[in-house]
């Protein structure tokens, strides 16, 4: 099959572990498999959701004619795009950019409050490396089936996208590092591949950071068995740097398509959790999250997110549910006291 040298304008962050050059060999055939790396040409720019996160973490506007390297994958986001990998992919086919990281597939539905129309791209071919098509599954950490890490884990989970999980995680990491002088590592365990959240954790002082993407997954959608293995691999790897605490964010909601429930049913993972922060939009979500977690044997230790942004929420959470809560963007003292009381961190 004929090989073509293709010059790239942009490389999606989903390919960060591959270390691609901006000139790649391509072939015209495409395997319609998750993780398969392909080259596409942008057919038109979009003002809304029209940027791509580059392999170095920078954001760049996608313009008509841009040649982009990305990866076949799927997405099912309430505040974004729902997309699938077609059963067949041929050169010349029109697909869509499904997320900021460069995951590519066919968009079947999208939330018009967040996405005007998914960016359309034309397939130019598969990327070739060492005489084989390139798949990110082959550039991952070695999977580990057993959780060996004994480092205390603070888990940040939520009722949905956009409930403040990453904000809470980054505020917490910064406080533990700067106020308490602790060595903190961080991870994002579920979601779809981008570096934005994990880079934010690194920026506030995390010692080391990893995501499911580092275990070869474009997303944890339809990879529910892989979620558990990826999580154990990530936590074991982070523990090698000997942090005093690991903060983990579970992308998406407790109920959803990205395998959060599967992970919360794993006994090894549950037993490794030292503290759980739940983010919710409203009181119904907060009560529902608490009930679901308790049925799984997981205690909700603290509420944050929009539900805790003023006393309309915190009064109910603390007086009725008897669970501490706060807007930790402004005041971390309550959260720190609860962490001390639970023995997760030491009292000064």
Residue 33 lies in a domain: yes
Residues in the chain: 348
Residue 348 lies in a domain: no
One domain for residues 134 and 174: no
Q: pTM score, two decimals?
A: 0.94
One domain for residues 221 and 187: yes
Residue 212 lies in a domain: yes
Q: Which residues constitute the domain of residue 122?
A: 3-139
Grade residue 116 by pLDDT with cuts at 50, 70 and 90: confident
More confident residue, 132 or 347: 132
Residue 74 lies in a domain: yes
Question: Looking at residues 127-138, what average pLDDT do you find?
Answer: 91
Q: Is the pLDDT of residue 341 over 70?
A: yes
One domain for residues 213 and 64: no
Residue 285 lies in a domain: yes
Q: Structurally, how many domains does the chain consist of?
A: 2
One domain for residues 225 and 273: yes
One domain for residues 173 and 316: yes
The two three-digit tokens of residue 224, written as one number: 């529910």
One domain for residues 173 and 109: no
Residue 287 lies in a domain: yes
Residue 174 confidence (pLDDT): 98
Residue 193 confidence (pLDDT): 87
Task: Provide, rounded to the nearest whole percent, the portion of the chain with pLDDT above 90.
Answer: 88
Residue 173 confidence (pLDDT): 98
Residue 224 confidence (pLDDT): 64
Q: Is the pLDDT of residue 303 over 80?
A: yes
Average pLDDT over the chain reads 95
One domain for residues 34 and 182: no
One domain for residues 197 and 253: yes
Nearest partner of 223 among 252, 248, 191, 269, judged by Cα: 191
User: For the CA atoms of 273, 274, 277, 278, what is the dihedral angle to 10 degrees?
Assistant: 40
Give tens-digit pLDDT for 59-107.
999 999 999 999 999 999 888 899 999 999 999 999 999 999 999 999 9
One domain for residues 18 and 94: yes
User: For the CA atoms of 169, 175, 180, 185, what is the dihedral angle to 10 degrees?
Assistant: 30
147: helix, strand or coil:
coil
Grade residue 2 by pLDDT with cuts at 50, 70 and 90: confident
| Domain end marker among 139, 164, 183 | 139
Task: Provide, rounded to the nearest whole percent, the portion of the chain with pLDDT above 70.
Answer: 99
Q: β-strands 120-129, 94-97: how paired? A: antiparallel
One domain for residues 124 and 157: no
Residue 129 confidence (pLDDT): 87
Residue 304 confidence (pLDDT): 98
Residue 317 lies in a domain: yes
Question: Looking at residue 186, which CATH number applies to its domain?
Answer: 3.40.50.300
Nearest partner of 209 among 169, 167, 256, judged by Cα: 169
| Domain end marker among 139, 163, 183 | 139
| Domain end marker among 139, 170, 202 | 139
One domain for residues 126 and 32: yes
Grade residue 171 by pLDDT with cuts at 50, 70 and 90: very high
Q: Is the pLDDT of residue 348 over 90?
A: no
Give tens-digit pLDDT for 245-302.
999 999 999 998 999 999 999 999 999 999 999 999 999 999 999 999 999 999 999 9
Angstrom CA distances, 156 to 30, 66, 172, 247, 251, stand at 38, 37, 10, 7, 9
Residue 147 lies in a domain: no
One domain for residues 272 and 308: yes
Question: Looking at residues 160-184, what average pLDDT do you find?
Answer: 97
Residue 223 confidence (pLDDT): 67
């Amino acid at each position: 099959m004929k090989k073509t040298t293709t010059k790239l304008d942009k490389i999606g962050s989903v390919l960060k572990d591959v270390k691609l050059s901006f000139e790649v060999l391509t072939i015209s055939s495409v395997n319609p498999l998750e993780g398969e790396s392909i080259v596409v040409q942008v057919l038109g720019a979009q003002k809304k959701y029209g940027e791509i996160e580059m392999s170095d973490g920078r954001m760049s506007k996608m313009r008509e004619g841009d040649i982009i390297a990305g990866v076949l994958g799927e997405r099912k986001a309430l505040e974004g795009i729902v997309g699938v990998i077609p059963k067949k992919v041929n050169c010349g086919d029109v697909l869509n950019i499904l997320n900021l990281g460069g995951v590519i597939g066919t968009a079947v539905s999208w939330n018009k409050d967040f996405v005007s129309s998914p960016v359309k791209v034309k397939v130019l071919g598969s990327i070739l490396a060492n005489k084989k098509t390139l798949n990110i599954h082959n550039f991952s950490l070695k999977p580990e089936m057993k959780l060996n890490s004994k480092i205390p884990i603070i888990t940040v989970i939520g009722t949905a996208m956009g409930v403040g999980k990453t904000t809470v995680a980054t505020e917490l990491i910064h406080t533990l590092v700067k106020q308490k002088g602790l060595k903190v590592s961080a991870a994002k365990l579920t979601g779809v591949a981008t570096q934005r959240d994990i880079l934010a954790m690194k920026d506030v002082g995390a010692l080391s950071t990893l995501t499911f993407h580092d275990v070869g997954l474009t997303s944890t959608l339809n990879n529910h068995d892989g979620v558990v293995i990826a999580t154990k691999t990530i936590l074991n790897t982070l523990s090698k740097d000997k942090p005093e605490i690991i903060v983990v964010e579970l992308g998406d909601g407790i109920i959803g398509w990205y395998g959060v429930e599967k992970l919360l049913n794993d006994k090894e993972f549950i037993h490794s959790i030292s503290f759980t922060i739940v983010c919710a939009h409203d009181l119904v979500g907060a009560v529902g999250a608490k009930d679901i977690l308790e049925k799984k044997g997981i205690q909700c230790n603290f509420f944050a997110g929009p539900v805790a942004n003023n006393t309309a929420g915190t009064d109910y959470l603390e007086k009725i549910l008897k669970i501490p809560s706060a807007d930790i963007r402004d005041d971390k003292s309550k959260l720190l006291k609860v962490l001390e009381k639970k023995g997760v961190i030491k009292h000064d």
